[in-house]
Amino acid sequence: MKEKRMPKVKAPVEGVKLAPEQVTFLKKRMSHLAERNSSWGIQRDNYATLFEYLAVQKITYLYDDELFEGLKFVDHKKTGKSEELLDAYLILDLGEEIQLKLFQFKFRDAYDGGISTKELYAFVDRMNRVFLRGDLQDPKTLEAFREVREALDEAREANKRARTRIQCYYVVNGQNVSHTDAGKVQEIRDTFSHDRQTFGFTFETYGGLDIHNLYAHGRIPIQEELLELTYEMGDRSFLHHNIGANPNGMPEQVLVGFVNVNQLIRLVDRYSNNELFEKNVRLFLGTGKDVNRRIIETITGNQSAWFGFMNNGVSITADTLDVNLPPSKQKVRVRLRGMQIINGCQTVNALYHAKYAPELKDRFQGNSSVLVRIYEIAPENEPFLDALIIATNSQNAIRPEDLLSNDSIQKALQQIYHDYKIGYERKEGETLPGHGYLTTFTKEQAGMAYLAVFRGASSRLRNSLSRREFFRQGDEYYLAFNLRGADGVAQPGALPDGFKPGEPANERALQILTARSLEEGCRSGIAEIQDTQERGSLRKGAYYLARIIYLKQQTKIDGLVVTAATEDRRAEIARQVIETVSGVVKASFDEARSLFQQALKDYVAKEGGNEDAALKNTAFAKKVDDLAQSPQPQTSRSAT
């Protein structure tokens, strides 16, 4: 019998330069980003601007609204301001950590050119001096960066217990650092290594091919790495299961053994998170989490030698691996090509913290080992890799929105929207069948809009971690994407076998479409405001504005949805909903804007703090609802 082989898929591309077809791919994705967010006001062929947004989104994994609201441009050519060597910045408050991300972009229409190590050093050095050693800089230099420094100070004041990390990104659409300049970049890394270890100051470089690989494959391939496994007891020291090519979709090799912790710490020093950790794995959750705190306590305590037997270990995949057995009592040298850490992000980063944190480094001995499991998985064997990622990670480590792409609810909703001529993206970067959609949005945009408009959860959506918790397939997820009507409210859960979408499914799909239309309409209204300060403040409150308009016009909107849900699914029905809701937004926007601004002003005056803190507060969200609440009864049957 002829042996079956796994279907071939394209692996992440190696090299440094984009091919013509890859440029075309990026242009299509950039255009799509503009079309999906028409309220941004960016033309679909404005690639110079869209590349910056696309690159930042792939580097940070932010949702569209988080990206557009959070990325602040300070480049003199674009803004008339005087910041030097800095094009844009982004501040992320992750609870235990505040990240200031600083960007310099270089875009060329021909997608050629590359990174100048001289310019790279100038950028990194200036950011280091301004944000780590500001007390040593002259007033003129500090004034140029006043906006960014004040924004960072405000974030620190709002979260005084958080540690600050400064992260620099040098991004070009040409080629990344050439192989001949790799040594110079390492010299720059060595120059700032102390600040990385002490203050969390880092820099990364990205070329056009890196952004392509992040979009198309979710990762940047690591060319080759070497790990040395313990071999003190000969063949009894480790397990090597050499399966070979097989028709069952299993890995071709599996290796289990122990490595010294310093080898994993070295990897953190060498690579960025986009290269080292698989895209589905959430990045380091901080030292305050119980599991990470216990790791640090063990590795810096008197029983540090026990660590390898108490920790769950680290799971690594590689496209290929070569195992070289040594003489007795030396190390097993394993060469890995295309490696990724798919489980163990918390362990590896906690070890790094234990070694370099000023308060811990004197207690770190470095004589501990950690268990590693290494799988050689052919690039075309995606089904096994996906299953392995899920199996080896806890519920808290997986990006839940990625796992839900193939959920039966999402598949059914995509088909419903297809009937309505609405493009619904349940998978990141997927190409939808057909063309000429009335509008297009993602399942993430759908979920966030519904939560804000129909559930009044705008305050939660101000927190990046909270909005992602929504996609964990709990009751809240099932209630928001409830296609079963009253049955789905009484018993939230997955769709039953043989489910046929009927009127309740139509209603929920149209509610989501309504919520998304309200949100986009508000964002378009905000974009037309001339005052930049007012526009920036309102941009943070787009979900609140959509909620206010819904509550003010609840009877009209709910009646529209209920009536439309009884009709057969077709483009004309969806068009009527979109056009009617758009008209409601235009007629109600100024009133909603005034109500929101007054509510925010009154709340901050009474409770103190700043706008960001208010917008995250459930008490403020309740205040907005109370002010906007319509006395008219709700007629929608399945909104809950």
Q: Which of 145-154, 312-321, 625-634 has the lowest mean pLDDT?
A: 625-634
Averaged pLDDT for residues 572-601: 96
**Nearest of 483, 490, 560 to residue 518 by alpha carbon:** 560
Does 147 score more than 60 pLDDT? yes
430 in the same domain as 284: no
> Above 60 in pLDDT, residue 279?
no
Question: At how many degrees (to 10) do helices 503-527 and 571-607 cross?
Answer: 60
- Examine the domain organization and report whether 303 and 443 are in the same domain: no
pLDDT single digits (tens) 417-426: 999 999 999 8
Whether residue 1 lies inside any domain: the answer is no
Per-residue pLDDT, 452: 96
For residue 102, pLDDT over 80 is answered with: yes
Q: Is residue 203 part of a domain?
A: yes
Distance between CA 252 and CA 550 in Å, rounded? 56
**What pLDDT, on the 0 to 100 scale, is given for residue 288?**
55
Q: Which domain holds residue 505?
A: 402-628
Q: Would you say residue 440 has pLDDT above 90?
A: yes
Mean pLDDT of 588-613: 93
Q: Coil, strand, or helix at residue 227? A: strand
Last residue of a domain, one of 162, 196, 217: 217
Rounded-to-integer distance, Cα 167 and Cα 449, Å: 31
In the predicted model, is pLDDT for residue 58 greater than 80?
yes
386's CB contacts (< 8 A; 6+ apart) are none
Whole-number pLDDT of residue 304: 84
Work out the percent of the chain whose per-residue pLDDT is above 90: 53
156-160, 374-378, 429-433: segment of lowest average pLDDT: 429-433
Pairing of strands 369-376, 314-318: parallel
The pLDDT of residue 149 is above 90? yes
CA distance linking residue 148 with residue 83, whole number of Å:
9
Same domain? For 502 and 443 the reply is: yes
Residue 234 belongs to some domain of the structure = yes
Using the CB atoms, write b or e for 605-626: b if 16+ within 10 Å. Answer: eeeeeebbbbbbbeebbebbbe
Backbone angles phi, psi at 272, to 5 degrees: -85, 170
Helix axes 532-540, 542-552, angle to 10 degrees: 70
Q: Does residue 34 surpass a pLDDT of 60? A: yes
pLDDT at 397: 44
Specify the amino acid at residue 548: I
* Residues facing residue 99 across a β-bridge: 92, 165
Q: Evaluate whether residue 289 is within a structural domain.
A: yes
- Mean local confidence (pLDDT), 116-124: 94
Q: Is the pLDDT of residue 382 over 60?
A: yes
Query: How far from the centroid of its chain's Cα atoms is residue 47's Cα?
Result: 22
pLDDT at 631: 60
Whether 370 and 459 map to the same domain: the answer is: no
633, pLDDT greater than 60: no
* pLDDT tens column, 521-575: 999 999 999 988 898 889 999 999 999 999 999 999 999 999 999 999 999 999 9
Query: Does one domain contain both 256 and 192?
Result: no
Final residue of a structural domain among 365, 398, 431? 398
DSSP letters spanning 387-449: HHHHHHS-TTTB-HHHHGGG-HHHHHHHHHHHHTT-EEESSTT---SSS--S-EEEHHHHHHH
Q: Partners of 60 in the beta sheet?
A: none
Asked if 330 and 182 sit in the same domain, the reply is no
- CA dist 625 and 518 (Å) reads 16
Query: What is the token pair recorded at 78?
Result: 């674009």
Within a domain: residue 634? no
| Structure-token pair, residue 317 | 């995949």
Residues 347 and 390 placed together within one structural domain of the fold: yes
Among the candidates 348, 377, 398, a domain finishes at 398
Mean pLDDT (whole number) for 446-467: 89
CA dihedral (426, 428, 433, 434) positive or negative: positive
In this model, does residue 348 exceed pLDDT 90? Answer: no
Residues 495 and 620 in one domain: yes
Report whether pLDDT(4) > 60.
Answer: no
Same domain, 365 and 407: no
CA 58 to chain centre: 7
User: Residue 283 pLDDT more than 70?
Assistant: no
Residue pair 268/352 in contact (Cβ under 8 Å)? The answer is: yes
Is 305 inside a domain boundary?
Answer: yes
For residue 256, the cross-strand partners are 239, 373
- Higher model confidence: residue 516 or residue 396? 516
Q: Is residue 10 part of a domain?
A: no
Average pLDDT over residues 478-494: 93
| Residue 496: burial class (beta carbons within 10 Å; 0-12, 13-18, 19+) | exposed
> Tell me, what's the pLDDT at 3?
39
Same domain, 420 and 348: no
Q: Which two tokens stand for residue 261?
A: 């912790």
Q: Residue 64: its pLDDT value, please? A: 92
What tokens were used for 139? 């007033």
Long-range contacts of 498-505 (CB under 8 A, 24+ apart): 499/408, 499/412, 501/412, 501/415, 501/416, 503/565, 503/566, 504/565, 504/637, 504/638, 505/412, 505/413, 505/416
pLDDT of residue 285: 55
Q: How confident is the model at residue 465 (pLDDT cuts 50, 70, 90)?
A: low
Convert the pLDDT of each residue in 224-278 to its tens digit. Answer: 899 999 888 888 888 999 999 888 888 999 999 999 999 998 888 777 666 787 6
Looking from the CA of 257 toward its CB, the CA atoms found within 13 Å total 25
Mean pLDDT of the chain: 86
For residue 596, the SS3 value is helix
The residue among 465 and 410 whose pLDDT is bigger is 410
pLDDT band at 287 (very low <50, low <70, confident <90, very high): low
- Give the confidence band of 1 by pLDDT, cuts at 50, 70, 90: very low
The mean per-residue pLDDT over the stretch 379-402 comes to 68
- What's the length of the chain? 640
Give yes or no: residues 337 and 429 share one domain.
no
Give the pLDDT mean for 439-456.
95
Distance in Å from the first CA to the final CA of the chain: 56
H-state helical runs in 12-113:
20-36, 47-60, 64-70, 76-79
Per-residue pLDDT at 400 = 62
pLDDT tens-digit profile of 237-248? Answer: 889 999 998 888
| Average pLDDT value for residue range 152-180 | 90
Least confident of 150-164, 344-358, 589-603: 344-358
- pLDDT range class, residue 177, cuts 50, 70, 90: confident
416 and 548 both lie in a single domain: yes
In a domain, 461, yes or no: yes
Q: How many domains does the chain have?
A: 3
Is residue 563 within a helix (H) or strand (E), and if so which, with residue range?
Answer: helix 554-565
Instruction: Say yes or no to pLDDT of 368 above 70.
Output: yes
What is the spatial distance between Cα 274 and Cα 502, in angstroms, rounded to a whole number?
42
pLDDT at 350: 85
Indicate if the pLDDT at residue 8 is higher than 50.
no
Which whole number is the average pLDDT over 576-585? 97
